[in-house]
Amino acid sequence: MAEVEHVSALIGEIYDAALDPALWPSAFDQVCKFTGSSQVTLFSQDSVRNIADLHFSSGLDPQFGQLYKEKYCKINPIFPTVMFFGVEETHWVPDVLPRDEFCRTRFFREFIGPQGFMDGLFANVDKSTTNCALVSVMRRMSDGLVNDELRRRFGLIVPHVRRALLIGKVIDHHKIEAAALADALDGLMSAMFLVDGTGRIIHANASGHAMVGDANVLRAQNGGLRAFDAQANQTLLDIFTTAAAGDAAIGVKGVAVSIAARDGEHYVAHVLPLTAGKRRRAGTMYAAVAALFVRKAALNLPSPFEIIAGQFHLTPAELRVLFAVIEVGGAPEVAEVLGITQATVKSHLHHIFEKTETRGQVDLVKLVAGFTNPLIQ
């Protein structure tokens, strides 16, 4: 029972952060305690441009955060493999490369090790063709290594972090006072609805009124919000009914509900509960249990590195070498960064040249550029 209450309170803090990003560090402090970790970080990284943004964290030394952005994001060995993983999937370093090999990399020797970290988990919470956002938890030896309990607890939290981030993305991360929720969200391009436990529309912004009026994705039936997609409609009604019981009751439902429109287009809906945390004030004020955000779904295209790996049948090790060659240069530099011998690097390069029908590193750079930037020939 104590854990249920703890999880409910933690989820509430995460959803409050969807409306006020300044609350993320506090929420992540609680994630650290719940998972028994020393650091939680949310960051995004573009694998083509090799740039990273550190968004929110708990337990991260600002100096190391800056070093990651300026230097170590370029040699993080989990990229670009992490681009292949689906959202909300829990992974750890051995899912990408053997632990002993990871510990020999320059990334571990100069960045992870000096911070005292030994183990951790990560999961994608958002993804595009070249960029992914990850939430990670890191443990020191005193915290213990990754075990089933850490995986379970991390898995409980990740879907809620994702939902809060997606809603924050919809509202452009503007700080919103809960008491003025409807007014603050009226200008959103995305359709927004405040609903009660039966799906009755309490309030809709201009985009929401337009969407209902268009009668392509949603409609208003006797004052109730209904989707034309029968499966999505039932899912949403179940979420609205459950929302009255609080954040934990909803669980992972509503993180991203896919809705098929009558014209064949696809939309996605995100549900923000309004019955707990600082959002309770807004819910009570409007007699609403949830806020629903609906927008057209983005195309789910594979990343350039997924295409390259698939087309040329590259192994994960070969892809890491290819990625390192593009970033740091020749075999000696790649060997030092990846913590492997030059002979191993040359062996991987030989296979890469054969599979891609290229003759040298210059050809490889051009090949990758052609996949990552269609304007480069």
Can you spell out the DSSP letters for 306-348?
Answer: HHHHHHHT--HHHHHHHHHHHHH-SHHHHHHHHTS-HHHHHHH
Q: Find the angle CA(170)-CA(26)-CA(270) to the nearest 5 degrees.
A: 25
For residues 224 and 216, give the distance between their C-alpha atoms in angstroms, rounded to a whole number. 16
Two domains, one topology: 2-170 and 178-296: yes
Q: Find the angle CA(88)-CA(124)-CA(167) to the nearest 5 degrees.
A: 80
**Could you tell me which residues are beta bridge partners of residue 218?**
227
Rg (CA), the chain: 23
CA 173 to chain centre: 15
**CB count in 10 Å sphere of residue 210:** 11
What pLDDT was estimated at residue 355?
92
Question: How would CATH label the architecture of 2-170?
Answer: 2-Layer Sandwich (3.30)
Q: Going along the chain, which residue ranges are E strands?
A: 39-46, 51-58, 117-127, 131-140, 191-195, 201-204, 218-221, 224-227, 257-260, 266-273, 290-296
**Domain residues of the chain, as ranges?**
2-170, 178-296, 304-372
Backbone phi, then psi, for 169, in 5-degree steps?
Answer: -65, -40
What does each C-alpha distance from 365 to 52, 82, 131, 322, 361 come to in angstroms?
21, 21, 20, 9, 6
Question: How would CATH label the architecture of 304-372?
Answer: Orthogonal Bundle (1.10)
Question: How would CATH label the architecture of 178-296?
Answer: 2-Layer Sandwich (3.30)
What residue has token string 């990334």? 107
pLDDT tens by residue, the chain, 377 residues: 466 667 778 888 888 888 788 899 999 999 999 999 999 999 999 877 778 999 999 999 999 999 999 999 999 999 888 888 988 899 999 999 898 999 999 999 999 999 999 999 999 998 887 788 999 999 998 999 999 999 999 998 998 898 888 877 765 544 444 445 555 555 566 788 989 989 999 988 888 999 999 999 999 999 999 999 999 999 999 988 888 776 666 665 556 789 999 999 999 888 888 876 667 666 566 678 888 889 888 656 677 778 888 889 998 888 888 888 887 778 888 888 888 889 998 999 999 999 988 888 888 888 877 776 543 33
Q: Are 169 and 133 in contact (CB under 8 A)?
A: no
- Predicted TM-score (pTM) of the model is 0.73
Which DSSP state fits 298? P
Q: Find the angle CA(232)-CA(237)-CA(242) to the nearest 5 degrees.
A: 125
